[in-house]
Each structure stands twice: as C-alpha cells, then as structure tokens.
Amino acid sequence: MEKMITGEQHKSIWIFNDQNGFILGRITHIEPKAVIVQLNNNNNNQMFVMPNTICQTEEYDKYMNDNNAPIYFDEAALLNNLHRLYQKDQIYVYIGDGLITFNPYKQLLELYSSKTLKRYNENSFGIIPPHVFAIGDKAYRNMCTTKQNQSIVVTGESGAGKTESAKYVLQYLSKSYDACNASIKGRLKNSNLLLEAFGNAKTIHNNNSSRFGEIMEVHFDEEYTIVGGNITYYLFEKTRVCVQSTDEKNFHIFYYLCVDASARIRKSLQLNSPDTYHYLNQDCSQTKQLTKSYPQDTDFKCEQLVSNLELNDTNGFIKYDQIMNDIGISQEDKLNIYSILAGILHLGNINFEDDSESTQNGCKIISTSEQALIMTAQMLHVGVHDLRNVLLERISMMENTIISVPLTVHEAEHVRDKLAKTIYARLFNQLVVYVNTSISFKSSTSHISIIDTIGFENCPINSFEQICINYCDEKIQQIFNEHLVETARLLFQEEGIGLNKIDYIDNQDCINLFEDQITGWFHLLDEESNVTERQSNQSTHDIFHGNPNHSMIPPKLDLPAASIIHHNEVFVVEHYSGNAVYSTSEFIDKNNDILLDSFIIFVRKSKNEFVKNLFDEIFVEQFKDKINYLSVGTKVRSEMTDVINKVKRSVVHFITCIKPNVKMIPNEFQKDQIRSQLKTLGFASILSFIEEVQQKIRKRECRVRKAQIN
C-alpha cells in the first residue's frame, strides 16, 4: 500500500529497522527522495530514511483499548499500542471484531473475579474494556437474539494462552448462565481438568501443553440456561507415550501416579520413581524437573513467575482421583485405569536382544526385563505367555494356515511401543466417554462451541504428526480468512465505501496440496502405502513439480551437520505461517497405523472387562474392515472437515492468543517475535484493511471539505 507522508518537520514518526524493530524519531528535514530523521535515542543520532520505512504516529504516548481507534493505524501504531497496554497488565485488545490476548505470565486475579464477571454480564460488547469474558458474552447474546449456534475459535502458538482463554470463556458462561444447575458447572470444569491430566504434557513451549485439539460444546435449553455439554477431540498425540523430545515430558498423569498416589496404590501397581521407567526418563524426568522446569523459549520476568508456571507432580494425584469420583467413575474403574497406566509403564521397560537360537533373525526378551513382562501381564490381566508372543512374533493367516514370523529387536520394540500407544489412546478415548456421560443432557435448543485449536508447529525437522497439525492449522486459518473478508466487507459497508478487491493471504493453494483428489498429499500417501518411503518421497516431489502454486519447494536445505536425514527424504511446505521442513521418515507406517490382528486378539483375551472393552466391537470392526479401512491422514482430514463444518454452520468469533517475549526491554515488544506472530495469525491483512478504510475516510473527508470550501 502506498505510504502517505503528511509529516511536517519535527513530527514524531516510527522508522523500521531490521535490527531494532520500530524506533521512534522526529523528522528534521524532508528531501525529495528521503527524509532526515533524528532518533529519540541517547545519542540523538540522525539518519536518512526512505519514506516507505516510516510509520506515522501522533499520540504515541497514549494508548487505547480499541485498536480501531488510533488516527494513524499501521503496524507501528498497533505494536506501540499493544506494548503500552501490556505494560499496564491490559492483556486484551480488540482488532476488528476479534479479541487478541497476550499471555501475562502471571496471575491477574482481579481480571477474572466475580466482580469483573458481573460487569461483563451487565454491559454490551464494546462498552467496557476488551476482555475474554466479553467474547463469551457476545456469543451468548448473539445466540439468544439470532437463535443461531455460535463458535469461539481460539488460535495461537503453543503456550500463548489458548487453553486458559477457553477456560475463561467456559467459566464466564457457566457462572453466568447456569443458575439452576450448579452441578453441571462443576462437571464442565472438572471435565476439562481431567482431560488435561491425561492429555497435557510439558513441552519446551509450555509446561501444560494440550496435546490434542478440543471442541467443547456448551448446550442451552429454550430459556438459554446451560443444560450440559459435549467434548470432541482431534489429533491426540499418542506418540508422546513412548517418545518425548529433549526437555519434554510424558502426559502428566503418569507422574502424578508414580509420585503422588498413596503408598498402597503404588505398591499394588509395583510402581517406583518416574526415573525408573523408560517411557518417563528419556530426558526430563522428575529429578531433573526440579531444576529444569520452565519453558526454554521464554525469559520469565522473575523467579516468582517461574514457580507460578511450574507444574508440580507431587500434588496432582489426589485432585484427579477426586475429580474422577465427581465425574461418576466408579472405584473399580478408577483402579482399572491406574492399572492400565502402570501396565504401560512396565511394558516400556521390556527390552529385547537378538536370539542366537533363532534361524530367522528373531529376538528374545532380555532376562532383566522378565519382571517387567510379568508386571505388564498382571496389570493388563493377560497371560505372560500371550504377552511374550505378541511382542516377539507376527502371526498372520494365509489360506487358513496360521503363520508365525519372529520379529527382530527393532520390530519387537516397534510392536511394544505401538501396543503402549494404542492402549493409551483408547484409554483417553474412554475418559472422554466418561466425561461426556457426566455432562450429558436430554435435549438442547442451541449451543456455543469453544474450539481450543492446536497451533502451527515448526521444529527444525518435522514429522508426520506436525504435517497433520499444520494441515489442520491451515484449515482453521482459512476460516479466519473468510471471516476477515466478511468483516472487511461489513466495515466498508458501514463506512459507505465501495468494496474494492480484498487483498488477503489466501491459503487455498496450500490446502489443495493436501486435499486434491488426485495429486493431494493425503490421497497420494494412501496410494503409496504399499511402496517404500523413498518412493513415496519421490512422489511427494512429483506433486511439487506438477504444482503451479509452488507450495511445495524442493529440498535445498542446510541440514544440521549431524543430521542423519538425507536431502531426498525431506520436503518443504510453504505454509501461510512459514516454511516447514518435513522428513518422510515413517510417514507410511504412521499413516497406516494398522493394528496387528494379534494385538486385538491379545487385548480381547484380557480377563478384565474394562481392558477388554477398550478394544470394543466398533473399534475392532474398523480395523478388521481392510477394504474400508481409514488411514490416519484420511481420518485427520475427515475429523477436520467435521470441525470446519460445525464452525461454518455457526456464527464465529475469534480469540487470537499471542505469546510475548517477556524480557520486555523498550521496543523489544515491537521486534520480530510479536510482528511475526501477528503476521502469522493473519493480522497483516486486518491492518491493511483498516489502514485502507482509514485512508479512504481521510480522502473522503478531504473531498467533502474541498467541496464545502468551493
């Protein structure tokens, strides 16, 4: 967009500099092609700048809650405004009709008190300062007046505060509109807490990171009082059960059980310290946690905040045990759940070695793992012999003959981990069933969905899990874009300005790259499931070559020197939020995720009904139906289609969470970190809309004035 320099001399302006972000200065001289600016720094340096690096500012020492209000509204004004608000612990601002939240990294109790909640109850949107409660209130009022379902979509990077925001919306709704049924309020809250214990984990970005996407529906009756809820989830990260990256941990519940369960329970489950389990001690076990417990990518403001954010493994169990009681899980089922968790931990401690007596490169369980084998069998209520067989052999049927093929050490480890992951994922699913039963309702007239999304993930080298997450993120972003266009259209209409072509970052090309019926990545991956990964990777590159939108670019990468990944095993996708490098390693296997028949037979042989029912008939049928079998990629796509359809059928509200670098030296806020998050989240487009509207208004006012003078 063309910059207008209306600045007379001595006017305050922002200039952009790659190193320092936006710096405040004063115009001392305007030349035909450049402007001389004196910087407001200690040395009062002067510099020549090009007009297009200047952002105008008028009242830079004032701040406003509503970002639509400043006279000069550009990136610098926005960032400056956000910075000033943040310094005053004002973590909420509106841009357009959406809410932006900044993680305060500290408890702001008054911000969420009953008094505050009441104020938002009593005032319509926009009358009092921006707040997450106001979004809940807006959705509620909208639902009551339009009788349409509402969706509140919460987006942002990991650790930015999505789950916290979602919880505050839920708190607002349940405290405000649940007068008759106090128990539902408690159950809704407990449902979230319980799923956090089983589905959240410490990552390098967040000590309490949700490892699944969640849609929490809050249902209302014809009087618009809450009657219950329903939770669905997508993309549960089950691989975390077996493998965690450096400085990350397994799901919280494992540590609570090992550290905090009563001595009686731990004895009955034969549990020791987390350090003794392979699935818990890979890099960040309990003992190390005491010194290394805060997110690596965040500089905290002070020591006190570090402790605020620490997750204490030593006071979790009793709380969650009580929540399970409150939700209606019987004592017997609770013990079954603990037994399965212990079984998974013991299973992870089973190790293998080559069997010199095997003629087919088979392996055996090492003698020091025999105890773990016995414990696992005991916890899952299966025979030791059956467990040994399922881990060491692949059984298949061929023309009515049972064939047994011994597994290598690597294959046996793979089977062990797959068994652990599958059982845990089924257990998580069962917990969602419990939770939904506890918040179930007979009938409802409308609902508000709170969608706690999984944000874009970009590691140095990404895997199948990240590509699925990032595909979902693209789909959510597309909804955001569509919403943005609609907002802009209304804004233009309100101002009586003709609608030009709306210029925004359209990510349809990238989505096509995944979804195209013939050349789409999901389809291709399913097609390739019978060929080797190397061939699949080649096909991935073929997509790129045939693809005019260049969303997939060839791998010309500077891979880390120690990387064992070859160039021909990686590809790059240009996401709206940046380029992500993916390694095709294990893509096919992770996409197929076929459960061996022997697994099903094995678990179904358990003498414990709870364990047996984890692999219930519907679930088993899906796996038996080899023809209609859905790959993981196809399931992700269909889950996401459901989410998007739900959102599209409702009125949508956006909450965008930002994670500031809390070092917060002046201007720091305005540097790349926040800029890139805003850009990533699509605000570049909002800014340009608002700027365009304002320019048009200014031009129109000029014309009106001129006409009046004439």
Ligand X SMILES: Nc1ncnc2c1ncn2[C@@H]1O[C@H](COP(=O)(O)OP(=O)(O)OP(=O)(O)O)[C@@H](O)[C@H]1O
Q: Which of 327, 314, 286, 338 is nearest to 194 (CA)?
A: 327
Say whether residue 142 binds ligand X (CB under 6 A).
no
Question: According to CB under 6 A, which one of 56, 80, 190, 209 is a site residue for ligand X?
Answer: 209
In angstroms, give the least distance from the CB of 295 to ligand X.
8
The token pair at 7 is 């600045």
Beta carbon nearer to ligand X, 208 or 378: 208
Q: Which of 546, 543, 455, 574 is nearest to 206 (CA)?
A: 455
In angstroms, give the least distance from the CB of 337 to ligand X.
23
> 620-659: which residues touch ligand X (CB under 6 A)?
657
Say whether residue 7 binds ligand X (CB under 6 A).
no
Say whether residue 107 binds ligand X (CB under 6 A).
yes
Say whether residue 162 binds ligand X (CB under 6 A).
yes
Say whether residue 136 binds ligand X (CB under 6 A).
no
3-state secondary structure of 19: coil
The token pair at 135 is 């979004």
Question: According to CB under 6 A, which one of 210, 289, 376, 438 is a site residue for ligand X?
Answer: 210
Beta carbon nearer to ligand X, 348 or 455: 455
Beta carbon nearer to ligand X, 133 or 599: 133
> 652-671: which residues touch ligand X (CB under 6 A)?
657
281, 345 in Cβ contact below 8 A?
no
Quote the CA–CA distance of 233 and 163 in Å, as a whole number: 14
Quote the CA–CA distance of 522 and 631 in Å, as a whole number: 9
Q: Which of 482, 412, 499 is nearest to 692 (CA)?
A: 499
Beta carbon nearer to ligand X, 209 or 339: 209
Within a 10 A sphere around the Cβ of 593, how many other Cβ atoms?
Answer: 19
Say whether residue 104 binds ligand X (CB under 6 A).
yes
Instruction: Tell me whether residue 158 is annotated as binding.
Output: yes
Binding mask 397-436 for ligand X (x = CB under 6 A): ----------------------------------------
The token pair at 91 is 């973590």
List Cα–Cα distances, 558 to 242, 436, 460, 561, in angstroms: 29, 48, 10, 8
Tokens 């890979």 belong to 282
Question: According to CB under 6 A, which one of 309, 342, 674, 678 is a site residue for ligand X?
Answer: 309
Beta carbon nearer to ligand X, 446 or 577: 577
List Cα–Cα distances, 421 to 413, 429, 599, 602, in angstroms: 12, 12, 12, 15
Contact segment (CB under 6 A) with ligand X among 11-19, 101-109, 396-404, 517-525 equals 101-109
Number of residues that bind ligand X (CB under 6 A): 20
Which residues on neighbouring strands pair with residue 356, listed in sequence order?
none
492, 669 in Cβ contact below 8 A?
no
Instruction: Tell me whether residue 156 is annotated as binding.
Output: yes
Q: Which is it for strands 570-575 and 578-583: parallel, antiparallel or unpaired?
A: antiparallel
Quote the CA–CA distance of 488 and 683 in Å, as a whole number: 12
Beta carbon nearer to ligand X, 159 or 362: 159
Beta carbon nearer to ligand X, 158 or 444: 158
Say whether residue 161 binds ligand X (CB under 6 A).
yes
Which residues on neighbouring strands pair with residue 150, listed in sequence order?
448, 651
3-state secondary structure of 560: coil
In angstroms, give the least distance from the CB of 210 to ligand X.
4
Say whether residue 160 binds ligand X (CB under 6 A).
yes
Contact segment (CB under 6 A) with ligand X among 103-111, 135-143, 181-189, 605-613 equals 103-111
Instruction: Tell me whether residue 348 is annotated as binding.
Output: no
Say whether residue 316 binds ligand X (CB under 6 A).
no
> 428-487: which residues touch ligand X (CB under 6 A)?
455
Side chain identity, residue 163? T
Q: Which of 558, 569, 525 is nearest to 543 (CA)?
A: 525
Tokens 């003498």 belong to 607
305, 105 in Cβ contact below 8 A?
yes
C-alpha 638: how far from chain center: 18
Which residues on neighbouring strands pair with residue 219, listed in sequence order?
228, 447
In angstroms, give the least distance from the CB of 155 to ligand X.
9
Side chain identity, residue 17? N
User: Can you give the C-alpha Rg of the chain in angstroms?
Assistant: 28
Question: According to CB under 6 A, which one of 67, 158, 250, 585 is a site residue for ligand X?
Answer: 158
Say whether residue 150 binds ligand X (CB under 6 A).
no
Beta carbon nearer to ligand X, 455 or 520: 455
In angstroms, give the least distance from the CB of 643 to ligand X.
16
Tokens 């201007």 belong to 667
Say whether residue 252 binds ligand X (CB under 6 A).
no
In angstroms, give the least distance from the CB of 165 to ligand X.
7
Say whether residue 206 binds ligand X (CB under 6 A).
yes
In angstroms, give the least distance from the CB of 231 to ligand X.
15
Say whether residue 528 binds ligand X (CB under 6 A).
no
Quote the CA–CA distance of 694 and 557 in Å, as a whole number: 42
Q: Which of 15, 83, 77 is nearest to 661 (CA)?
A: 83
Residue set of the binding site: 156-163
Residues at the contact surface with ligand X, assessed by CB under 6 A: 103-104, 107-108, 156, 158-164, 205-206, 208-210, 309, 455, 657
Residue set of the binding site for ATP: 156-163
